[in-house]
Structure 1
Protein backbone atom coordinates (compact mmCIF):
# COMPACT_ATOMS: atom_id res chain seq x y z
CA UNK A 1 0.00 0.00 0.00
CA UNK A 2 2.87 2.36 0.85
CA UNK A 3 4.60 1.55 -2.43
CA UNK A 4 1.42 2.34 -4.37
CA UNK A 5 1.01 5.62 -2.52
CA UNK A 6 4.65 6.56 -3.22
CA UNK A 7 4.30 5.71 -6.90
CA UNK A 8 1.08 7.75 -7.14
CA UNK A 9 2.79 10.70 -5.44
CA UNK A 10 5.76 10.51 -7.83
CA UNK A 11 3.43 10.36 -10.84
CA UNK A 12 1.41 13.33 -9.55
CA UNK A 13 4.43 15.57 -9.08
CA UNK A 14 6.00 14.52 -12.36
CA UNK A 15 2.79 15.33 -14.25
CA UNK A 16 2.35 18.64 -12.41
CA UNK A 17 5.91 19.80 -13.10
CA UNK A 18 5.62 18.84 -16.76
CA UNK A 19 2.42 20.83 -17.13
CA UNK A 20 3.92 23.83 -15.34
CA UNK A 21 7.01 23.59 -17.52
CA UNK A 22 4.81 23.52 -20.64
CA UNK A 23 3.00 26.66 -19.44
CA UNK A 24 6.36 28.37 -18.86
CA UNK A 25 7.64 27.64 -22.35
CA UNK A 26 4.31 28.52 -23.91
CA UNK A 27 4.54 31.92 -22.22
CA UNK A 28 8.11 32.33 -23.47
CA UNK A 29 6.92 31.53 -27.00
CA UNK A 30 4.03 34.02 -26.80
CA UNK A 31 6.42 36.73 -25.60
CA UNK A 32 8.85 35.98 -28.38
CA UNK A 33 6.09 36.13 -31.00
CA UNK A 34 4.75 39.34 -29.47
CA UNK A 35 8.17 40.96 -29.49
CA UNK A 36 8.85 39.90 -33.05
CA UNK A 37 5.47 40.72 -34.56
CA UNK A 38 3.93 43.50 -32.49
CA UNK A 39 6.58 45.46 -30.63
CA UNK A 40 8.14 48.37 -32.47
CA UNK A 41 11.72 48.02 -33.67
CA UNK A 42 14.42 49.16 -31.32
CA UNK A 43 17.36 48.08 -29.22
CA UNK A 44 15.24 46.91 -26.30
CA UNK A 45 13.22 44.64 -28.56
CA UNK A 46 16.27 42.83 -29.90
CA UNK A 47 17.87 42.67 -26.46
CA UNK A 48 14.72 41.03 -25.07
CA UNK A 49 14.65 38.56 -27.95
CA UNK A 50 18.32 37.79 -27.36
CA UNK A 51 17.67 37.07 -23.67
CA UNK A 52 14.75 34.78 -24.53
CA UNK A 53 16.90 33.06 -27.15
CA UNK A 54 19.70 32.51 -24.62
CA UNK A 55 17.25 30.87 -22.21
CA UNK A 56 15.85 28.64 -24.95
CA UNK A 57 19.28 27.59 -26.22
CA UNK A 58 20.67 26.83 -22.76
CA UNK A 59 17.58 24.77 -21.91
CA UNK A 60 17.74 22.92 -25.24
CA UNK A 61 21.41 22.05 -24.70
CA UNK A 62 20.66 20.84 -21.14
CA UNK A 63 17.71 18.77 -22.40
CA UNK A 64 19.73 17.27 -25.26
CA UNK A 65 22.84 16.42 -23.22
CA UNK A 66 21.62 15.72 -19.66
CA UNK A 67 24.55 13.44 -18.78
CA UNK A 68 27.29 15.76 -20.05
CA UNK A 69 29.27 17.10 -17.04
CA UNK A 70 30.05 20.31 -18.93
CA UNK A 71 26.36 21.09 -19.52
CA UNK A 72 25.34 21.65 -15.91
CA UNK A 73 21.88 22.69 -14.72
CA UNK A 74 23.57 25.55 -12.87
CA UNK A 75 24.46 27.12 -16.23
CA UNK A 76 20.84 27.11 -17.34
CA UNK A 77 19.65 28.53 -14.01
CA UNK A 78 22.28 31.27 -14.20
CA UNK A 79 21.14 32.20 -17.72
CA UNK A 80 17.53 32.21 -16.48
CA UNK A 81 18.42 34.56 -13.60
CA UNK A 82 20.18 36.98 -15.96
CA UNK A 83 17.30 36.81 -18.46
CA UNK A 84 14.68 37.57 -15.81
CA UNK A 85 16.66 40.53 -14.52
CA UNK A 86 17.27 41.83 -18.05
CA UNK A 87 13.64 41.41 -19.12
CA UNK A 88 12.44 43.15 -15.96
CA UNK A 89 14.72 46.08 -16.85
CA UNK A 90 13.87 46.14 -20.58
CA UNK A 91 10.14 45.45 -20.44
CA UNK A 92 7.42 45.91 -17.87
CA UNK A 93 4.94 43.55 -16.24
CA UNK A 94 7.05 40.41 -16.18
CA UNK A 95 5.52 39.10 -12.95
CA UNK A 96 3.77 36.23 -14.78
CA UNK A 97 7.05 35.15 -16.36
CA UNK A 98 8.78 35.22 -12.98
CA UNK A 99 6.03 33.09 -11.43
CA UNK A 100 5.97 30.37 -14.05
CA UNK A 101 9.75 29.93 -13.87
CA UNK A 102 9.68 29.18 -10.14
CA UNK A 103 9.46 25.36 -10.58
CA UNK A 104 12.66 25.39 -12.66
CA UNK A 105 14.76 26.17 -9.60
CA UNK A 106 13.44 23.04 -7.90
CA UNK A 107 13.57 20.92 -11.04
CA UNK A 108 17.21 21.67 -11.82
CA UNK A 109 18.69 22.55 -8.45
CA UNK A 110 20.91 19.77 -7.15
CA UNK A 111 19.88 20.34 -3.53
CA UNK A 112 17.26 22.46 -1.74
CA UNK A 113 20.01 24.88 -0.75
CA UNK A 114 21.10 25.38 -4.37
CA UNK A 115 17.46 25.84 -5.39
CA UNK A 116 16.95 28.48 -2.71
CA UNK A 117 20.14 30.30 -3.76
CA UNK A 118 19.05 30.55 -7.39
CA UNK A 119 15.53 31.51 -6.36
CA UNK A 120 16.98 34.31 -4.26
CA UNK A 121 19.22 35.46 -7.10
CA UNK A 122 16.27 35.45 -9.53
CA UNK A 123 14.19 37.48 -7.07
CA UNK A 124 16.99 39.99 -6.52
CA UNK A 125 17.67 40.28 -10.28
CA UNK A 126 13.99 40.83 -11.09
CA UNK A 127 13.57 43.44 -8.35
CA UNK A 128 16.80 45.16 -9.36
CA UNK A 129 15.68 45.30 -12.99
CA UNK A 130 12.35 46.80 -11.95
CA UNK A 131 14.06 49.42 -9.73
CA UNK A 132 16.43 50.43 -12.51
CA UNK A 133 13.57 50.62 -15.00
CA UNK A 134 11.42 52.80 -12.70
CA UNK A 135 14.37 55.06 -11.87
CA UNK A 136 14.63 54.35 -8.15
CA UNK A 137 12.83 53.14 -5.04
CA UNK A 138 9.31 54.48 -5.50
CA UNK A 139 6.33 54.09 -3.19
CA UNK A 140 4.55 52.08 -5.85
CA UNK A 141 7.50 49.70 -6.00
CA UNK A 142 7.38 49.05 -2.25
CA UNK A 143 3.59 48.72 -2.02
CA UNK A 144 2.98 46.63 -5.10
CA UNK A 145 6.01 45.12 -6.78
CA UNK A 146 8.12 44.28 -3.73
CA UNK A 147 5.29 42.92 -1.58
CA UNK A 148 3.73 40.84 -4.37
CA UNK A 149 7.11 39.47 -5.50
CA UNK A 150 8.17 38.48 -1.98
CA UNK A 151 4.79 36.87 -1.38
CA UNK A 152 5.07 34.84 -4.57
CA UNK A 153 8.65 33.85 -3.69
CA UNK A 154 7.65 32.77 -0.18
CA UNK A 155 4.78 30.62 -1.45
CA UNK A 156 6.99 29.18 -4.18
CA UNK A 157 9.74 28.39 -1.68
CA UNK A 158 7.33 26.64 0.69
CA UNK A 159 5.76 24.63 -2.12
CA UNK A 160 9.19 23.76 -3.52
CA UNK A 161 10.55 22.62 -0.16
CA UNK A 162 7.46 20.52 0.43
CA UNK A 163 7.60 19.00 -3.06
CA UNK A 164 11.32 18.29 -2.65
CA UNK A 165 10.59 16.55 0.66
CA UNK A 166 7.87 14.44 -0.95
CA UNK A 167 10.15 13.48 -3.84
CA UNK A 168 12.99 12.66 -1.42
CA UNK A 169 10.68 10.45 0.62
CA UNK A 170 9.49 8.75 -2.55
CA UNK A 171 13.08 8.17 -3.64
CA UNK A 172 13.89 6.72 -0.22
CA UNK A 173 10.85 4.45 -0.44
CA UNK A 174 11.92 3.35 -3.90
CA UNK A 175 15.42 2.60 -2.59
CA UNK A 176 14.04 0.62 0.35
CA UNK A 177 11.68 -1.27 -1.95
CA UNK A 178 14.57 -2.11 -4.26
CA UNK A 179 16.60 -3.35 -1.29
CA UNK A 180 13.60 -5.35 -0.07
CA UNK A 181 13.12 -6.95 -3.48
CA UNK A 182 16.82 -7.76 -3.66
CA UNK A 183 16.72 -9.27 -0.18
CA UNK A 184 13.62 -11.28 -1.06
CA UNK A 185 15.32 -12.55 -4.21
CA UNK A 186 18.38 -13.57 -2.17
CA UNK A 187 16.18 -15.30 0.41
CA UNK A 188 14.28 -17.13 -2.33
CA UNK A 189 17.52 -18.28 -3.89
CA UNK A 190 18.84 -19.35 -0.48
CA UNK A 191 15.62 -21.29 0.21
CA UNK A 192 15.89 -22.96 -3.17
CA UNK A 193 19.51 -23.94 -2.52
CA UNK A 194 18.62 -25.20 0.95
CA UNK A 195 15.64 -27.11 -0.43
CA UNK A 196 17.82 -28.72 -3.09
CA UNK A 197 20.42 -29.64 -0.47
CA UNK A 198 17.76 -31.10 1.83
CA UNK A 199 16.28 -33.08 -1.05
CA UNK A 200 19.70 -34.45 -2.03
CA UNK A 201 20.29 -35.45 1.59
CA UNK A 202 16.90 -37.13 1.83
CA UNK A 203 17.46 -39.04 -1.41
CA UNK A 204 20.91 -40.15 -0.21
CA UNK A 205 19.42 -41.31 3.10
CA UNK A 206 16.64 -43.26 1.38
CA UNK A 207 19.07 -44.93 -1.01
CA UNK A 208 21.40 -45.77 1.88
CA UNK A 209 18.57 -47.23 3.95
CA UNK A 210 17.16 -49.36 1.12
CA UNK A 211 19.35 -50.15 -1.87
CA UNK A 212 22.75 -49.80 -0.21
CA UNK A 213 21.76 -52.04 2.71
CA UNK A 214 20.41 -54.63 0.30
CA UNK A 215 23.60 -54.64 -1.74
CA UNK A 216 25.67 -54.95 1.44
CA UNK A 217 23.60 -57.99 2.48
CA UNK A 218 24.04 -59.54 -0.97
CA UNK A 219 27.82 -59.11 -0.78
CA UNK A 220 28.04 -60.69 2.69
CA UNK A 221 25.77 -63.59 1.72
CA UNK A 222 27.65 -64.17 -1.54
CA UNK A 223 30.99 -64.33 0.29
CA UNK A 224 29.57 -66.76 2.83
CA UNK A 225 27.96 -68.92 0.15
CA UNK A 226 31.18 -69.10 -1.86
CA UNK A 227 33.15 -70.12 1.21
CA UNK A 228 30.71 -72.92 2.13
CA UNK A 229 30.13 -74.41 -1.32
CA UNK A 230 32.44 -77.38 -0.61
CA UNK A 231 31.91 -77.82 3.12
CA UNK A 232 28.18 -77.04 3.59
CA UNK A 233 26.29 -77.03 0.28
CA UNK A 234 22.89 -76.94 1.98
CA UNK A 235 23.75 -73.76 3.88
CA UNK A 236 25.20 -72.23 0.73
CA UNK A 237 21.96 -73.04 -1.06
CA UNK A 238 19.96 -71.21 1.61
CA UNK A 239 22.29 -68.27 1.31
CA UNK A 240 21.89 -68.20 -2.44
CA UNK A 241 18.13 -68.16 -2.01
CA UNK A 242 18.55 -65.25 0.41
CA UNK A 243 20.67 -63.48 -2.19
CA UNK A 244 17.91 -63.97 -4.76
CA UNK A 245 15.26 -62.74 -2.35
CA UNK A 246 17.30 -59.70 -1.33
CA UNK A 247 18.01 -58.85 -4.96
CA UNK A 248 14.30 -59.03 -5.78
CA UNK A 249 13.50 -56.80 -2.82
CA UNK A 250 16.16 -54.33 -3.95
CA UNK A 251 14.69 -54.33 -7.44
CA UNK A 252 11.25 -53.62 -5.98
CA UNK A 253 12.67 -50.82 -3.84
CA UNK A 254 14.40 -49.30 -6.86
CA UNK A 255 11.17 -49.36 -8.88
CA UNK A 256 9.26 -47.77 -6.03
CA UNK A 257 11.91 -45.06 -5.64
CA UNK A 258 11.81 -44.22 -9.33
CA UNK A 259 8.06 -44.60 -9.74
CA UNK A 260 7.20 -42.42 -6.72
CA UNK A 261 9.61 -39.61 -7.49
CA UNK A 262 12.41 -40.86 -5.25
CA UNK A 263 10.15 -41.15 -2.24
CA UNK A 264 10.94 -43.80 0.40
CA UNK A 265 9.58 -47.28 -0.15
CA UNK A 266 6.19 -48.01 1.35
CA UNK A 267 5.67 -50.25 4.35
CA UNK A 268 2.53 -52.34 4.54
CA UNK A 269 -0.15 -50.88 6.77
CA UNK A 270 -1.02 -52.58 10.03
CA UNK A 271 1.15 -53.88 12.84
CA UNK A 272 4.74 -52.74 12.74
CA UNK A 273 5.62 -55.72 14.94
CA UNK A 274 4.90 -58.17 12.10
CA UNK A 275 7.07 -56.14 9.73
CA UNK A 276 9.97 -56.08 12.18
CA UNK A 277 9.51 -59.80 12.95
CA UNK A 278 9.99 -60.71 9.28
CA UNK A 279 13.12 -58.53 9.14
CA UNK A 280 14.56 -60.13 12.29
CA UNK A 281 13.81 -63.69 11.11
CA UNK A 282 15.54 -62.98 7.83
CA UNK A 283 18.52 -61.50 9.66
CA UNK A 284 18.80 -64.53 11.97
CA UNK A 285 18.60 -66.91 9.03
CA UNK A 286 21.27 -65.06 7.04
CA UNK A 287 23.75 -64.52 9.90
CA UNK A 288 23.09 -67.43 12.26
CA UNK A 289 22.98 -65.03 15.22
CA UNK A 290 20.56 -65.41 18.10
CA UNK A 291 17.83 -62.78 18.03
CA UNK A 292 15.73 -62.16 21.17
CA UNK A 293 12.72 -60.01 20.27
CA UNK A 294 9.94 -58.55 22.40
CA UNK A 295 7.69 -56.76 19.95
CA UNK A 296 4.46 -55.22 21.20
CA UNK A 297 1.64 -55.44 18.69
CA UNK A 298 0.85 -51.75 18.14
CA UNK A 299 -0.59 -49.68 15.32
CA UNK A 300 1.09 -46.53 14.06
CA UNK A 301 1.09 -44.32 11.01
CA UNK A 302 3.04 -44.88 7.82
CA UNK A 303 5.92 -42.51 8.56
CA UNK A 304 6.43 -43.99 12.02
CA UNK A 305 6.44 -47.53 10.60
CA UNK A 306 9.03 -46.50 8.00
CA UNK A 307 11.22 -44.83 10.64
CA UNK A 308 11.11 -47.85 12.99
CA UNK A 309 11.84 -50.26 10.14
CA UNK A 310 14.77 -48.19 8.81
CA UNK A 311 16.28 -47.84 12.28
CA UNK A 312 16.02 -51.61 12.75
CA UNK A 313 17.55 -52.35 9.35
CA UNK A 314 20.43 -49.90 9.90
CA UNK A 315 21.17 -51.25 13.38
CA UNK A 316 21.15 -54.86 12.14
CA UNK A 317 23.39 -53.92 9.21
CA UNK A 318 25.88 -52.38 11.63
CA UNK A 319 25.76 -55.53 13.77
CA UNK A 320 26.38 -57.67 10.69
CA UNK A 321 29.31 -55.55 9.44
CA UNK A 322 31.06 -54.38 12.62
CA UNK A 323 29.83 -55.84 15.90
CA UNK A 324 31.07 -59.46 15.80
CA UNK A 325 28.18 -60.24 18.15
CA UNK A 326 26.50 -63.52 19.00
CA UNK A 327 23.19 -62.22 20.35
CA UNK A 328 20.94 -59.34 19.34
CA UNK A 329 18.04 -58.08 21.43
CA UNK A 330 15.13 -56.04 20.05
CA UNK A 331 12.37 -54.50 22.16
CA UNK A 332 9.42 -52.54 20.71
CA UNK A 333 7.05 -50.99 23.23
CA UNK A 334 4.49 -48.27 23.52
CA UNK A 335 5.11 -46.08 26.54
CA UNK A 336 3.07 -43.16 27.91
CA UNK A 337 5.32 -40.64 26.20
CA UNK A 338 5.75 -42.39 22.84
CA UNK A 339 6.85 -45.46 20.87
CA UNK A 340 10.25 -46.85 21.88
CA UNK A 341 12.52 -49.19 19.93
CA UNK A 342 15.61 -50.63 21.64
CA UNK A 343 18.23 -52.71 19.84
CA UNK A 344 21.18 -54.17 21.74
CA UNK A 345 24.04 -56.52 20.92
CA UNK A 346 26.88 -58.18 22.84
CA UNK A 347 29.47 -57.33 20.21
CA UNK A 348 32.75 -55.46 20.19
CA UNK A 349 31.22 -52.03 20.64
CA UNK A 350 32.77 -48.76 19.47
CA UNK A 351 33.47 -45.18 20.52
CA UNK A 352 30.32 -43.17 19.79
CA UNK A 353 32.20 -39.85 19.86
CA UNK A 354 34.54 -41.02 17.10
CA UNK A 355 31.82 -42.48 14.90
CA UNK A 356 31.29 -40.66 11.60
CA UNK A 357 29.11 -43.11 9.74
CA UNK A 358 26.27 -41.96 7.50
CA UNK A 359 23.85 -44.52 8.96
CA UNK A 360 23.62 -43.17 12.51
CA UNK A 361 23.35 -39.60 11.28
CA UNK A 362 20.60 -40.64 8.87
CA UNK A 363 18.67 -42.35 11.67
CA UNK A 364 18.91 -39.24 13.86
CA UNK A 365 17.60 -36.99 11.10
CA UNK A 366 14.82 -39.37 10.16
CA UNK A 367 13.61 -39.49 13.77
CA UNK A 368 14.04 -35.73 14.19
CA UNK A 369 11.63 -35.18 11.28
CA UNK A 370 8.99 -36.93 13.41
CA UNK A 371 9.94 -35.08 16.58
CA UNK A 372 11.83 -38.09 17.93
CA UNK A 373 15.39 -38.72 18.98
CA UNK A 374 18.07 -41.40 18.78
CA UNK A 375 20.36 -42.37 21.67
CA UNK A 376 23.39 -44.57 21.01
CA UNK A 377 25.30 -46.02 23.95
CA UNK A 378 28.44 -48.06 23.37
CA UNK A 379 32.02 -48.55 24.41
CA UNK A 380 34.79 -50.74 23.11
CA UNK A 381 34.24 -54.33 24.30
CA UNK A 382 30.84 -53.72 25.93
CA UNK A 383 28.40 -54.05 23.04
CA UNK A 384 26.02 -51.40 21.72
CA UNK A 385 22.58 -50.08 22.66
CA UNK A 386 20.49 -48.12 20.17
CA UNK A 387 17.35 -46.45 21.55
CA UNK A 388 14.87 -44.77 19.19
CA UNK A 389 11.96 -42.76 20.58
CA UNK A 390 9.09 -41.31 18.58
CA UNK A 391 6.59 -39.21 20.55
CA UNK A 392 2.91 -40.08 20.63
CA UNK A 393 2.03 -37.06 18.49
CA UNK A 394 3.78 -38.68 15.53
CA UNK A 395 2.06 -42.06 15.90
CA UNK A 396 -1.52 -43.12 15.37
Structure 2
Protein backbone atom coordinates (compact mmCIF):
# COMPACT_ATOMS: atom_id res chain seq x y z
CA UNK A 1 0.00 0.00 0.00
CA UNK A 2 2.81 2.41 0.90
CA UNK A 3 4.57 1.76 -2.40
CA UNK A 4 1.37 2.20 -4.41
CA UNK A 5 0.62 5.52 -2.72
CA UNK A 6 4.20 6.72 -3.22
CA UNK A 7 4.50 5.69 -6.87
CA UNK A 8 0.99 6.46 -8.07
CA UNK A 9 -0.76 9.07 -5.97
CA UNK A 10 2.40 10.85 -4.83
CA UNK A 11 3.39 12.20 -8.27
CA UNK A 12 -0.26 12.86 -9.12
CA UNK A 13 -0.78 14.97 -6.01
CA UNK A 14 2.41 16.91 -6.75
CA UNK A 15 1.04 17.57 -10.23
CA UNK A 16 -2.27 18.77 -8.77
CA UNK A 17 -0.47 21.26 -6.55
CA UNK A 18 1.57 22.61 -9.46
CA UNK A 19 -1.53 22.88 -11.64
CA UNK A 20 -3.43 24.73 -8.90
CA UNK A 21 -0.52 27.13 -8.47
CA UNK A 22 -0.43 27.82 -12.19
CA UNK A 23 -4.18 28.51 -12.29
CA UNK A 24 -3.89 30.90 -9.36
CA UNK A 25 -1.08 32.83 -11.05
CA UNK A 26 -3.08 33.05 -14.27
CA UNK A 27 -6.09 34.42 -12.39
CA UNK A 28 -3.96 37.01 -10.58
CA UNK A 29 -2.58 38.17 -13.93
CA UNK A 30 -6.03 38.36 -15.51
CA UNK A 31 -5.42 35.48 -17.94
CA UNK A 32 -8.90 34.07 -17.54
CA UNK A 33 -8.92 31.86 -20.63
CA UNK A 34 -5.61 30.25 -19.61
CA UNK A 35 -6.85 29.79 -16.05
CA UNK A 36 -10.03 28.14 -17.32
CA UNK A 37 -8.00 25.66 -19.41
CA UNK A 38 -5.68 24.92 -16.49
CA UNK A 39 -8.60 24.34 -14.13
CA UNK A 40 -10.20 22.00 -16.67
CA UNK A 41 -6.98 19.98 -16.74
CA UNK A 42 -6.86 20.08 -12.96
CA UNK A 43 -10.38 18.65 -12.83
CA UNK A 44 -9.28 15.82 -15.13
CA UNK A 45 -6.20 15.16 -12.99
CA UNK A 46 -8.35 14.96 -9.83
CA UNK A 47 -10.54 12.35 -11.55
CA UNK A 48 -7.42 10.33 -12.43
CA UNK A 49 -6.16 10.56 -8.84
CA UNK A 50 -9.53 9.39 -7.51
CA UNK A 51 -9.51 6.43 -9.92
CA UNK A 52 -5.96 5.52 -8.85
CA UNK A 53 -7.00 5.60 -5.20
CA UNK A 54 -9.97 3.31 -5.90
CA UNK A 55 -7.64 0.92 -7.74
CA UNK A 56 -5.20 0.85 -4.81
CA UNK A 57 -7.94 0.25 -2.26
CA UNK A 58 -9.63 -2.35 -4.43
CA UNK A 59 -6.36 -3.99 -5.58
CA UNK A 60 -7.39 -3.67 -9.22
CA UNK A 61 -5.55 -2.74 -12.39
CA UNK A 62 -4.26 0.80 -12.93
CA UNK A 63 -7.13 2.60 -14.73
CA UNK A 64 -4.83 4.44 -17.14
CA UNK A 65 -3.59 1.14 -18.59
CA UNK A 66 -7.01 -0.36 -19.19
CA UNK A 67 -7.90 -0.12 -22.86
CA UNK A 68 -4.97 2.13 -23.82
CA UNK A 69 -1.84 0.11 -23.26
CA UNK A 70 1.56 1.03 -21.90
CA UNK A 71 2.80 3.47 -24.56
CA UNK A 72 -0.37 5.58 -24.51
CA UNK A 73 -0.45 5.60 -20.72
CA UNK A 74 3.15 6.87 -20.66
CA UNK A 75 2.31 9.54 -23.26
CA UNK A 76 -0.61 10.62 -21.12
CA UNK A 77 1.64 10.83 -18.08
CA UNK A 78 4.08 13.02 -20.00
CA UNK A 79 1.24 15.25 -21.17
CA UNK A 80 0.04 15.66 -17.60
CA UNK A 81 3.50 16.83 -16.63
CA UNK A 82 3.15 19.42 -19.40
CA UNK A 83 6.89 19.13 -19.81
CA UNK A 84 8.50 19.64 -23.22
CA UNK A 85 11.68 18.00 -21.95
CA UNK A 86 10.13 14.53 -22.15
CA UNK A 87 10.39 12.39 -25.28
CA UNK A 88 9.00 8.88 -25.80
CA UNK A 89 10.27 6.27 -28.24
CA UNK A 90 8.08 3.20 -28.29
CA UNK A 91 8.48 0.31 -30.67
CA UNK A 92 5.69 -1.92 -31.93
CA UNK A 93 4.79 -3.49 -28.60
CA UNK A 94 2.88 -6.78 -28.50
CA UNK A 95 0.09 -7.32 -25.96
CA UNK A 96 1.90 -7.34 -22.63
CA UNK A 97 1.20 -9.43 -19.53
CA UNK A 98 -0.74 -7.25 -17.09
CA UNK A 99 1.85 -7.50 -14.33
CA UNK A 100 4.68 -6.57 -16.70
CA UNK A 101 2.69 -3.63 -18.07
CA UNK A 102 1.87 -2.32 -14.61
CA UNK A 103 5.44 -2.73 -13.34
CA UNK A 104 6.81 -0.90 -16.39
CA UNK A 105 4.32 1.94 -16.04
CA UNK A 106 5.00 2.49 -12.35
CA UNK A 107 8.77 2.38 -12.88
CA UNK A 108 8.58 4.89 -15.74
CA UNK A 109 6.33 7.22 -13.71
CA UNK A 110 8.70 7.19 -10.75
CA UNK A 111 11.77 7.73 -12.95
CA UNK A 112 10.07 10.61 -14.79
CA UNK A 113 9.02 12.21 -11.52
CA UNK A 114 12.55 11.99 -10.12
CA UNK A 115 14.15 13.37 -13.28
CA UNK A 116 11.68 16.23 -13.62
CA UNK A 117 11.67 17.25 -9.96
CA UNK A 118 15.17 16.54 -8.71
CA UNK A 119 17.69 16.10 -11.53
CA UNK A 120 17.66 19.53 -13.15
CA UNK A 121 17.47 17.79 -16.53
CA UNK A 122 16.94 19.60 -19.82
CA UNK A 123 15.93 16.42 -21.65
CA UNK A 124 14.32 13.19 -20.44
CA UNK A 125 14.07 10.26 -22.83
CA UNK A 126 11.91 7.14 -22.41
CA UNK A 127 12.29 4.06 -24.57
CA UNK A 128 9.98 1.03 -24.57
CA UNK A 129 11.03 -1.91 -26.71
CA UNK A 130 10.04 -5.54 -27.02
CA UNK A 131 13.20 -7.65 -27.08
CA UNK A 132 13.66 -11.43 -27.08
CA UNK A 133 11.96 -12.73 -23.96
CA UNK A 134 10.54 -9.53 -22.56
CA UNK A 135 10.28 -5.76 -22.42
CA UNK A 136 13.24 -3.38 -22.21
CA UNK A 137 12.64 0.02 -20.63
CA UNK A 138 15.00 2.97 -20.56
CA UNK A 139 14.50 6.32 -18.82
CA UNK A 140 17.52 8.57 -19.33
CA UNK A 141 18.10 12.20 -18.47
CA UNK A 142 20.95 14.70 -18.80
CA UNK A 143 20.64 16.06 -15.28
CA UNK A 144 22.90 16.10 -12.26
CA UNK A 145 23.14 12.33 -11.90
CA UNK A 146 23.42 10.41 -8.66
CA UNK A 147 25.87 11.40 -5.91
CA UNK A 148 28.83 9.05 -5.29
CA UNK A 149 26.96 7.40 -2.41
CA UNK A 150 23.25 7.78 -3.23
CA UNK A 151 20.69 7.36 -0.49
CA UNK A 152 18.47 4.33 -1.09
CA UNK A 153 15.13 6.12 -0.79
CA UNK A 154 11.68 4.62 -1.19
CA UNK A 155 11.47 5.59 -4.87
CA UNK A 156 14.58 3.68 -5.91
CA UNK A 157 13.72 0.71 -3.72
CA UNK A 158 10.21 0.67 -5.14
CA UNK A 159 11.40 0.65 -8.76
CA UNK A 160 13.84 -2.18 -8.06
CA UNK A 161 11.23 -4.18 -6.14
CA UNK A 162 8.65 -3.81 -8.91
CA UNK A 163 11.13 -5.15 -11.45
CA UNK A 164 12.13 -8.08 -9.24
CA UNK A 165 8.53 -9.00 -8.45
CA UNK A 166 7.95 -9.93 -12.09
CA UNK A 167 11.32 -11.67 -12.42
CA UNK A 168 13.09 -8.68 -13.96
CA UNK A 169 16.05 -6.54 -13.08
CA UNK A 170 16.88 -2.85 -12.87
CA UNK A 171 20.26 -1.22 -13.32
CA UNK A 172 21.38 2.39 -12.92
CA UNK A 173 24.10 4.12 -14.91
CA UNK A 174 25.16 7.49 -13.56
CA UNK A 175 28.01 9.77 -12.70
CA UNK A 176 27.78 13.15 -10.96
CA UNK A 177 26.93 15.77 -13.59
CA UNK A 178 26.41 13.20 -16.38
CA UNK A 179 22.73 12.37 -15.89
CA UNK A 180 21.08 9.11 -14.97
CA UNK A 181 19.93 6.14 -17.04
CA UNK A 182 17.43 3.71 -15.51
CA UNK A 183 17.44 0.46 -17.48
CA UNK A 184 14.94 -2.30 -16.81
CA UNK A 185 14.32 -5.70 -18.33
CA UNK A 186 10.97 -7.31 -17.53
CA UNK A 187 10.55 -10.89 -18.80
CA UNK A 188 7.27 -12.06 -20.24
CA UNK A 189 7.69 -15.25 -18.20
CA UNK A 190 8.62 -15.25 -14.52
CA UNK A 191 10.78 -18.33 -15.13
CA UNK A 192 13.19 -16.25 -17.22
CA UNK A 193 16.83 -16.36 -16.16
CA UNK A 194 19.11 -13.53 -17.38
CA UNK A 195 21.60 -14.54 -20.03
CA UNK A 196 23.92 -12.56 -22.25
CA UNK A 197 22.10 -11.70 -25.43
CA UNK A 198 20.14 -8.93 -27.13
CA UNK A 199 18.10 -8.02 -24.05
CA UNK A 200 21.10 -8.01 -21.73
CA UNK A 201 23.12 -6.00 -24.22
CA UNK A 202 20.40 -3.38 -24.47
CA UNK A 203 20.42 -2.96 -20.72
CA UNK A 204 24.18 -2.81 -20.33
CA UNK A 205 25.10 -0.39 -23.09
CA UNK A 206 24.54 3.35 -23.32
CA UNK A 207 21.74 4.61 -25.57
Q: TM-score, normalised by structure 1?
A: 0.43
**Secondary structure of the corresponding residue to residue 393 of structure 1:** coil
Q: Which consecutive residues of structure 2, in runs of 5 or more, have no partner in the other structure?
A: 192-207
5+ long unaligned stretches in structure 1:
1-202
Partners of 1:303 and 1:343 lie apart in 2 by 19
The 1-side partners of 2:36 and 2:113 are apart by: 22
Deviations 1:162-204 (A, max 9, x none): xxxxxxxxxxxxxxxxxxxxxxxxxxxxxxxxxxxxxxxxx11
Give the Å deviation of 1:237.
4.0
Q: Distance in 1 between matches of 2:13 and 2:148?
A: 25
- Aligned partners of 2:45, 2:180: CA distance in 1, in Å? 26
Q: Does residue 244 of structure 1 match 2:43?
A: yes
Considering only aligned residues, what root-mean-square deviation do their CA atoms show, in Å?
2.4
Name the CA distance, whole Å, in 2 between partners of 1:293 and 1:307.
Answer: 17
1:262-320: CA deviation from partner (whole Å, max 9, x where unpaired): 4563531564222222222333xx23x23222101312011111111101111111122
**Stretches of 4+ aligned residues off by more than 6 angstroms:** none
- Provide the C-alpha distance between the structure 2 equivalents of 1:208 and 1:352, rounded to a whole number of angstroms: 25
Task: Name 2:62's counterpart in structure 1.
Answer: 265
Q: Quick check: 1:214–1:246 contact (8 Å CA) kept in 2?
A: yes
Number of residue pairs aligned between Structure 1 and Structure 2:
188
* Residues 1:221 and 2:19 aligned together: yes
Superposed displacement of residue 394, structure 1: 4.5
Match of 2:86 among 269, 291, 298: 291
Judging changes above 3 Å, is the alpha-carbon distance between structure 1 residues 204 and 388 closer, same or farther for their aligned structure 2 residues?
same
The TM-score with structure 2 as length reference comes to 0.79
Instruction: Mark the CA change 1:318 to 1:242 in structure 2 (over 3 Å): closer, same or farther.
Output: farther
Structure with the higher fraction of residues in helix conformation: 1
Q: Distance in 1 between matches of 2:29 and 2:143?
A: 27
Structure of greater Rg: 1
Instruction: Tell me the equivalent position of 1:303.
Output: 99
Quote the Cα distance in structure 1 between the aligned partners of 2:146 and 2:35. 31
| TM superposition shift of 1:223 | 2.8
Deviation at 1:236, TM superposition (A): 4.2
Post-superposition Cα deviations, 1:329-379, rounded to whole Å, max 9, x if no partner, equal 111111124210101112222226322321111011111010111112223
The corresponding residue for 2:6 is: 208
More strand by share: 2
> Residue in 2 aligned with 1:344?
140
Match of 1:379 in 2: 175
Counterpart of 2:194 in structure 1 is none
Q: Does the 8 Å CA contact 2:23/2:39 hold for their aligned counterparts? A: yes
Shift of 1:251: 0.9
